[in-house]
Every structure is written in C-alpha cells, then in structure tokens.
A and B are shown apart, each in its own frame.
Chain A
Amino acid sequence: MQIPIKISNDGSEEWMMLELQGDLESRTQTKMSNKFIGDLHFTKQGVPVLIIGHHILYGKVMDMDKPFVIMNKIQTDTCMEVPESDTNEELDVLYNIKAVVKKKLIFKNRPKPIIASSVKNV
C-alpha cells in the first residue's frame, strides 16, 4: 500500500510553534474555537513572554535541529496518474505538506502566578 506525500503548490510556508508544558484548558467547558488564550510579548533581548490567565511564562526561541512538516490527508476519488509508475492508479489518499516549522518558542520554566489585587476577567 502506498501513500504519496506531496508539497503544496506555493512551496511551503513557514509556521511557528509554541511548546508548553501542560495543557491549555478552558475555565468553562465550552468549545475552544475563537476563545482568547493570552498575550505574547518579546523583551528587548528577544525573550518571549507569555501571559495566559493568571500565569506568566518566560521562554526562548529555538531553532529546531529537525524541523517539522505539517501535513494534511487528502482523499480523492479521481483517477490520478502517478509519475514514475507503469500504470494509472486510482489514488484514494495522499498527504499534502502545508507548512514547515523550523523554529519554536519553548516555555520550559515554571509559570509564575500573577498576584494582582484586581485582575479583570480577561
């Protein structure tokens, strides 16, 4: 069984990734889409600072030794000619590379709680 991996037409974009310890959770159990997560700042020394909920996290920018490719599966019912093959095959599935991640912001340090007298519900 064979599944080709193709790269999308516009070459591939570079996306960014955050690496966090633990999970992002919603305080209420509602759907996550459209919900606000937090503010991302950078210090003048280039250190990323993330404020999520009542926590502040300091991280760093890392070049990845081994980049990630981001792929999505595409199902197609059409008859596609596969290059370098003797026959026309009906391909059902292929993976499409949408983007590459070469750098990530990694937040390894323990989050510091923000002790504030009056933090509005953000």
Chain B
Amino acid sequence: MSCIERTVEDVQKLILHAKLTEDELLPVTQTLEFSPEYGEASQEMVMMEVDPALLNTMRQGDSIVLRGDPEAGAVLCTNNKTYEVREAETSNSLVLVPQLALPSMDSTGERTLENCQVCSIHYKYLEVRPCKPRVEKLQQILEEHPYSGPQEDDLTDTSKGKKYTWSDLLNRVQCSEEELDQGLRDIEAYHIYGFWQILEFDYRFKVVSHILQLIETKSWALDCVPYKESVEILSELEPRAVMVQCFEYYLTPTDKENESGDALYTLQDDKICRLCAEVLLKSADKYNLNEFLSIWQQSVPEGLTTNMSQLEGLALVDRSGSADAISYFPVSSLPSGVQERFNCLFETREKWSIEEIRPYIMDLTGENTPVNALLTKYARASTSNGIKYYSGRHAR
C-alpha cells in the first residue's frame, strides 16, 4: 500500500542520526505519508466534538438532526435535547490518520515497518454545547392561523395564514421532538385534523365555558367530573378533538371513578380563575383594583376562590394613583429577546420590585442565568423605603 520506497534500513539510519537507539524503541515503526486522495473534494470531512453521552446516543442509532435557522446559529437535536453548534478554530494541525495504531508495550523482535496514511488535516471543528430549546418562536408561528371554531373547516378559504403539521414545526423550530411536545403543551396548542393550532381567545373561552356550564347543570362537584360522560355531551357542541384536548388542559385526572366506572377529573382552579380574569382584563383598559377583584370573584364558578397570585405574568397593578388600578399586561405579548424584554418592561414602568418583575422574566432564565443574574446584568438596583427596586441601566 505504501507509495514510497522506504526500507527498514532507511528507518534505522534515521534513528541513528536522530540520536535514538533501537533499544529504547518498540519494534514497530509506522511510516506516515499523505494518502493518494489527499486534498481531493471527496476527502472533505467535518469533525465534531461531542461529549460521551451524545456519542452514545449516536452509536445507538437514535435520531440526531441538525436544525438550522436563517436568523440564529444551527443546533443539533437528539430525541430530547438541544445543543448549540459553533465552529471552533485551532492554530494546531489536527492530522487524521485512520489506521494508525498504538503498539502493545510488550512487543519484541526485529524492526518492522507499517505504512499509515494521512487522509486530511483540519484546523476547524464543530463544538456542541447543551442549550435551551428555542421554542419562543412557537407562539409566534401558531399565531399565524389560530383555530376559531368548526365554521373554519372550509378548506377552500386560503385567506388566513399557514397551518403547521408536526413536521412543519420541526422544520421551523430549533428543538428536539420531546421539547417540541412540551413546548406545545406549554402554550396550550391543539392537534386539530393533523395541524397544530392555538385557539383564538374568544373561542377558547367559549369551549371552556361549555365545560363549566355542564358541570353546573349537572351539579357535579368540581373535583368529580366524569370524563367520558362529559366528552360525549360536549362533543355535540364542538369538535370532539377540541373538546377532549381542552378537557385535558383545564382538568386533571384523579384516581377515582364514579359508579359507572367513568374516570373522575378535577378542575384546575388556578387556571380557570386566570382565564376568567383574562376575559375581564381584555375587555377594558384598566379597572379600579377593588372593583376588579369583586367582579372577578363573581365571574368564576361557585366553589373556586380567586387570588392575586393567579394573575402573575398577566396583569399589572398600578399603585401610584389615588386608587389602585389593574390592567392587562401579559408576558406573551412582550418581546422574546432579553434586552428588548427589559427595554419594554422599563418603558412600561420605571421601577419594579422583584416580586413584580419576576413573572415577566422567568421565561428568560437558563441553567446558568437565574433571575438574579439577569437583573444584575440588565437592570440597576436601588432602595427606597427599605424595598429594593430595579430600573433600566440607562434610565434618565
């Protein structure tokens, strides 16, 4: 295989010249040369640094996909994790010699030569580092075409935006499949006739109201709502797929069954109260706080108790006027970029206490950046009346 005429004697002469001795060396010498195809396009290879866990995933033949995006760097995704991919450069030469062997320490005998070929030399390689799934886009994408009810099942209407299937989403969102699944759950997405959609707000409230009304009509206890019976009745009002998923979003299973063997579910109190608050808040610019609290309590099903903590990330209380006021301020309407988010928050309100600001930056935190780290980096702290406040770094 060797392309050069190099003999054992040639090698031994060089050993002497280099002031080495045969005695101190193991008997096998590997002569290195460039392969015949060295430098050709067919030899173009990419090197990627991986951690042992990722290597294992690759060896098991699990799905690994690179997902690109025109605005952000590429990511690498396994079934359940996302890694950011960056190109690293080194001033060292990384010389690939596929067949080079490490000799065994106890080999003896006459000197022999083995030929080894260098197939390529690299100065760049890809580094991968675990990162958060880039699911912020998901809300935005699904807002292109929210589902507003069965009347829109007219497939000939192309006036609205694009609808996305699971594959379409994987093409647009840089995350693994499991993370996509969780992301869709987090924004309350529905799988309707093969497409993933969020419900238009009014329609969503309509669907949930059907459930609440049924519970009231049947005088069921809020933690004893029979699954099958409910879905059967409600599917006459709205498409079954929508009803079933909505049920699962707003109620949780208990371990109990009723006498007919039907699984019993319980209302998610906080979620229902929050939804009712959202309906009220959206319909007016702002409310007198006390009036709001009163109307709100009256609007929720009997047996549920409203609580300000249910409004985190949804509403802002303004205590600067003569009477306290509350207005709609959902975190989902704020920019997803960190600097832009902080800019927006400080434009809305000059000073924030930590309890006030935390719900509006929670989604920006990461493994190494908890809330405090974000505040240190993007805000300026000050104290007033013993309370710590945060404001913009470049505030007037």
Contacts and interface: CB of A to CB of B under 8 A. Distances in A.
Interface of A: 1-7, 11-13, 15-24, 31-44, 46, 49, 51, 56, 61, 66-73, 83-87, 89, 95, 97-101, 103-105, 114, 116, 119-120, 122
Given A20-B95, A21-B92, A32-B39, A85 B25 contact: no
Contacts of A87: 165, 167
Contact of A36 (B17, B33, B49, B100): B33
Interface in B74-122: 76, 91-103, 105, 116, 118, 121
Given A41-B26, A114-B18, A68 B125 contact: yes
Given A20-B93, A40-B32, A68 B18 contact: no
Contacts of B24: 43-44
Q: Which of A22, A36, A98, A120 has the most CB of B within 10 A?
A: A36
Interface stretch (B65-73, B342-350, B376-384): B65-73
B18 A2 contact: no
Contacts of B105: 44, 46
Nearest to A16: B100
A43 B29 CA distance: 10
B171 interface: yes
Contacts, number: 203
Given A1-B68, A5-B66, A36 B4 contact: yes
Interface of B: 3-4, 6, 10-11, 13-15, 17-20, 24-26, 28-40, 44-52, 55, 58-59, 61, 63-69, 76, 91-103, 105, 116, 118, 121, 125, 165-167, 170-171, 177, 194
A68 B25 CA distance: 29
A84 B121 CA distance: 36
A13 B20 contact: no
A86 B167 contact: yes
Contact of B91 (A16, A21, A35, A83): A21
A34 B121 CA distance: 14
B386 to A, nearest CB: 49
Contacts of B55: 67, 69, 100
Given A31-B39, A42-B103, A44-B24, 4 more contacts: A41-B25, A49-B20, A68-B47, A122-B10
A38 to B, nearest CB: 6
Given A17-B96, A114-B17, A103 B102 contact: yes
Contacts of B25: 41-44, 49
5 contacts: A15-B97, A15-B99, A56-B20, A72-B45, A103-B102
A2 B65 contact: yes
A8 to B, nearest CB: 11
Contact of A13 (B28, B51, B98, B125): B98
Contact of B32 (A37, A43, A119): A37
Contact of B52 (A67, A85, A99, A116): A67
A2 B77 CA distance: 10
B24 to A, nearest CB: 5
Contact of A34 (B3, B19, B95, B165): B3
A43 B21 CA distance: 10
A33 B38 contact: yes
A17 B38 CA distance: 15
B95 A18 contact: yes
Q: Which of B36, B63, B171 has the most CB of A within 10 A?
A: B63
A40 B116 contact: yes
Contacts of B76: 5
Contacts of B37: 33
